[in-house]
Structure 1
Amino acid sequence: MEETRQANSTKLEIFTFGRFLVKRGDKALSEDANRSYKLWELFKYLVTNRGKCILPEVIFENLWPDKDYNDSKRALRTLVYRLRLLLDKDSTSNNNCIMFSHGGYIWRPDSEAWLDLDEIEDLYKKAQEVRDSNPTEAMKVYKEAITLYKGDFLPESSYSEWVIPTRNHFQHLYIKCVNELLELLEEQSLYSEIVDICESVFIVEPYEEDFHLYYMEALVKEKKVKQARSHYEYITAALYRELGVKPSPEMREIYRVMHSNGDNVEYDLTSIQESLGEKKEDQKAFICDADVFRYIYKLERRRLERSGQSVFLALLTIGNSDYGVPPKPVLKDATEKLLHVLQETLRKGDTITQWNDAQILLMLPGLTLEQGDSVLARIQKNFKKYYNLGEIVIRSKIEPVIPL
């Protein structure tokens, strides 16, 4: 691909992923894009809608809806003329890239220009054609395709509605290319290559969970369990912070695999997955280690600044009627029973941790103070209803979590 383009040094080359660039040979024609803003916006629009014949009125409506032109056809004809002069300068071909047909303008179907949009489509089709018969060749072609994708389609025009469908299409195509390449590499047990590929695609698509799963699984296969755990901590925190999503079942499974490959686990966000237990517990409140609770608490404080959603922190203290601490066997029994009541009483999304031998902390999102008081009263009622522990008393306090 690169050799062919270099051999045609006078061919117009158009790059649209990650940044917009039009060049012929070593000369970048789009360097003065700010000074020729209208020309290049028209160029981008025609390239995006290549294969379509577009009327002048439609072009103006999509590109400059706030402008009022008495003669839109004449104004557009002038822009196209200037654009042709700019594009065809130093060209050895007599074919203009833009032609007029049936009252509208169209990007010439037989244009000799090289376009990364068309190239990545062609490479994906080629890879699929040879995938079953020649996986080695398919992997090579997939790699060429994903190398072309440097980021979002026309990022400097991301707020233009006409860009969105094409941008989404190629983002999905890129994700398919990467996933299919990683699948082939996994079938060939090429784990070090999976690691290299993933580290490069994280720059472009940092929150695509499948890529991170392939990456961590490959690290485990390469006996780099510590690195896999570190990455797990990073990506689960990032997904929660940026997107507000908790680890999927697949993420929890890779955590268990990593945990089984070593004796030591630091108490951080990864411990959440270990505490979840059986799948049926997914529908109940989440019990976690105190360090994990502290970590989630910090994330919630940061999220409060953006979401505005109320979150309450509640403290339950197990004691005697005279405010003393019960004997250890009694305290342990009371704690286990209270945790059971909490899981049965609280909602999915609420978080529970045993803070110390005699105290339990709760994080209750999306409530008012009155609703929080009602929750605590219901906990007290359910505990007394199901368990008769004599002089054991549950004392509770609640207050809102304060944003950072």
Structure 2
Amino acid sequence: MVTVKILGKFEISRDGKTLDDRNFRSNQLVRLLIFLVMYRKRSFSAADAAEALWPEGETDNPSGALKNLVYRLRSLLKKLGDDPFIIHERGSYRWNPAVPLETDYELFEQACLRAQKESRQMETKDCIDVCEKALALYGGSVFPAVAAETWMISTATYYHSLYLRLIKDLCGFYDQTQRYAEMEKVCREALAEDSLDEELHYWLIKALMGQHNQDLALQHYEEAKTILRKNLGLRQWDRLDDIYAEIISIQNLRVASFDDIYQDISEDMEPSGAFLCDYVIFRQIYRLEARRVERLGISEHLALLTLETKSVKKKEEALAMLRTGMERMRGVLSSYLRIGDAACRYSDSQYLLMLPACTYEAGAMVCERLLRRFREALPNPAVQVRYELEEVSAKHVKLK
């Protein structure tokens, strides 16, 4: 039996003899072997195989280059035995169907599908066993030398999605049995592969809370928000917002005195300038202020500051300018807004400001002053700022 592994590493082995990418010394040889293994149930013409290996026409003689590559691969595979592993018939190449073969990715797929099916009728403990056995077959993402090939991308994505579903199902079972240390371990391993999956962050925070590490849970919540906002532009998170509410509720379960409460809500430094917070907190502040405006009939305004780049053709340069501009604007807001004002970053290029007890005219004056301070902090004409003002109103929120 020949065994081929492509999850996390590349190996081909038979009867105790193993070859890996170091033995192959050529990514093209690795690609050719994996291509033939993946599509071993069919034959490929020289033209089709060459198109898969040199999609950009990187060789002037693809047929000759393929013939040479096949020769080198056959010579290398002789270290595993004298069988003709690759055969040539009627002008086409294929893996020899007479040579038994198993692959780690197909074994992993079968185990995942079995876990999905059987876990519907099992006790939680048995579900965990089935999922853990499937997880033990996963060595990591598809081997990098082939992961980005056009003929591999959809397959690599499929196995990655199988892995993520397996982890999430397993976390659900761990949660039911309060096995939070194991949950933390698998979540951290999965996040090392995919840090942009909100649900993985949710389960990791859940695992930390289950181990009574509320401070670490809150810290990871903040880190997850930053990662998702920077990479995906997200500003609202369904699962993370839910778990944040759980963290706060747990912290508030204990019986506390006023001294405990003041210690908990006090700031590290003497308050000065605006209250800078994340969007989740700002949204709650807006809802509170909308109720206050409705009750007292006073004037408050919401300001939206938007940074834009002008006459910058290169996307990377424009993004770098925006990042610098947003950092400078944060400093301006912290220094020049009033102590009772609130501000938050809404997107990669926008800030929201809450201006209490402020008419439209006064709000416009505040924004103009901020724009002047910003131009002093960043005298770059390519970065422009515009503002919009809207009156805070209960009609913009669903009052319950």
Q: TM-score range by the shorter chain?
A: 0.5 to 0.7
Contact in 2 for aligned 1:152/1:167 (Cα 8 Å): yes
| SS of residue matched to 2:12 | strand
The structure 2 residue matched to 1:224, chosen from 213, 220, 223, is 213
CA RMSD of aligned residues (A): 4.5
- Aligned AA (1:49): Y
Contact in 2 for aligned 1:233/1:270 (Cα 8 Å): no
**Does residue 195 of the first structure (1) align with residue 195 of the second (2)?**
no
The structure-2 alpha-carbon separation of the partners of 1:120 and 1:249, relative to structure 1 and needing over 3 Å to count, comes to same
The structure 1 residue matched to 2:31, chosen from 32, 41, 46, is 41
Q: Report the Cα distance in structure 1 between the residues aligned to 2:249 and 2:43, rounded to whole angstroms.
A: 60
| SS of residue matched to 1:213 | helix
- Aligned AA (1:20): F
Contact in 2 for aligned 1:255/1:273 (Cα 8 Å): no
What residue number does 1:277 align with? 284
Per-residue CA deviations over 1:331-352 (Å, capped at 9, x if unaligned) read xxxxxxxxxxxxxxxxxxxx99
Shift of 1:210: 0.7
The structure-2 alpha-carbon separation of the partners of 1:180 and 1:174, relative to structure 1 and needing over 3 Å to count, comes to same
Shift of 1:38: 3.6
Contact in 2 for aligned 1:39/1:79 (Cα 8 Å): yes
What residue number does 2:223 align with? 234
The structure 2 residue matched to 1:128, chosen from 109, 116, 123, is 116
| SS of residue matched to 2:9 | coil
The structure 1 residue matched to 2:339, chosen from 357, 364, 369, is 357
The structure 2 residue matched to 1:57, chosen from 39, 47, 63, is 47
Q: Report the Cα distance in structure 2 between the residues aligned to 1:149 and 1:315, rounded to whole angstroms.
A: 46
Shift of 1:354: 9.1
- Aligned AA (2:59): K
Give 1:2-401 correspondences, 5 Å limit: 11-24=1-14, 25=16, 27-34=18-25, 36-64=26-54, 65-69=57-61, 72=63, 76-77=66-67, 79-91=69-81, 96-101=84-89, 103-109=91-97, 111-134=99-122, 135-262=124-251, 264=264, 272-277=279-284, 304-305=319-320, 313=329, 355-357=337-339, 383-384=359-360, 396-397=368-369, 398=371, 399-400=374-375
Q: Report the Cα distance in structure 1 between the residues aligned to 2:241 and 2:100, rounded to whole angstroms.
A: 50
- Aligned AA (2:23): D
The structure-2 alpha-carbon separation of the partners of 1:206 and 1:355, relative to structure 1 and needing over 3 Å to count, comes to same
Q: Report the Cα distance in structure 1 between the residues aligned to 2:209 and 2:249, rounded to whole angstroms.
A: 11
The structure-2 alpha-carbon separation of the partners of 1:103 and 1:315, relative to structure 1 and needing over 3 Å to count, comes to closer
| SS of residue matched to 1:13 | strand
The structure-2 alpha-carbon separation of the partners of 1:308 and 1:217, relative to structure 1 and needing over 3 Å to count, comes to closer
Structure 1 runs not aligned, ≥5 long: 1-10, 288-301, 317-350, 388-392
| SS of residue matched to 2:228 | helix
Q: Report the Cα distance in structure 2 between the residues aligned to 1:110 and 1:149, rounded to whole angstroms.
A: 27
The structure-2 alpha-carbon separation of the partners of 1:100 and 1:182, relative to structure 1 and needing over 3 Å to count, comes to farther
- Aligned AA (1:16): I
- Aligned AA (2:87): M
What residue number does 1:345 align with? none
Shift of 1:164: 1.3
The structure-2 alpha-carbon separation of the partners of 1:96 and 1:129, relative to structure 1 and needing over 3 Å to count, comes to farther
Shift of 1:314: 9.5
Contact in 2 for aligned 1:232/1:270 (Cα 8 Å): no
What residue number does 2:294 align with? none
Structure 2 runs not aligned, ≥5 long: 253-263, 269-274, 289-300, 305-316, 381-400
Q: Report the Cα distance in structure 1 between the residues aligned to 2:339 and 2:277, rounded to whole angstroms.
A: 23
The structure-2 alpha-carbon separation of the partners of 1:21 and 1:261, relative to structure 1 and needing over 3 Å to count, comes to same
Shift of 1:28: 3.0
Q: Report the Cα distance in structure 2 between the residues aligned to 1:306 and 1:203, rounded to whole angstroms.
A: 29
Per-residue CA deviations over 1:155-174 (Å, capped at 9, x if unaligned) read 12344322212211111111
Contact in 2 for aligned 1:153/1:167 (Cα 8 Å): yes
What TM-score, normalized by structure 1, do the two folds share? 0.65
Per-residue CA deviations over 1:147-205 (Å, capped at 9, x if unaligned) read 44344313123443222122111111111211222222223333332122212222222
What TM-score, normalized by structure 2, do the two folds share? 0.65
- Aligned AA (2:339): D
Aligned residues: 325
